[in-house]
Amino acid sequence: MSIEDLIAEFEDLGDWESRCDYLIDLGGELPSMPESLKTEENRVHGCQSNVWMVAKVSEDAERNIELTADSDAMIVKGLLAVILLAYNGRTARQILETDIQAIFAKLGLNRHLGMARRNGLAGMVKRVRAFAAEALATNQPD
């Protein structure tokens, strides 16, 4: 599924309760993260729930990023699924150029999530953007 497919699905669902249920379903489909990766170093700060995220960056010039993420909260796992749809497999530059706030607005997340969840979501985005910035920085010629 692409982020465009998700936006279309959300539009078809209509009300927030249906969208929230769908988010939880998406989170349930996230691949399991090995327990060995659920460390303090991989924890995303700023979230009320426990959230862990790691990135694998390709060695080529494109610097594609593959994310692995998990949470102990069902709705947060759904939000992670949205982030992975938006960012996973993209180049570091594409990630930094993505207007994630516009995507969140189209999904209605800004209107329906409480302040604590929005702060957590911002922390997850900040973490992904940091992975991308670091990938670009380490790809610069000496």
Q: How many whole angstroms separate alpha carbon 70 and alpha carbon 141?
A: 34
Active site residues: 47
Q: How many whole angstroms separate alpha carbon 43 and alpha carbon 3?
A: 25
Find out whether 127 and 53 touch, Cβ atoms under 8 Å. Answer: yes
E strand map for 3-133: 51-57, 65-71
> Environment class of residue 13 by beta-carbon count within 10 Å: exposed (0-12), middle (13-18) or buried (19+)?
middle
E strand map for the chain: 51-57, 65-71
Cα torsion 19, 24, 52, 37: sign = negative
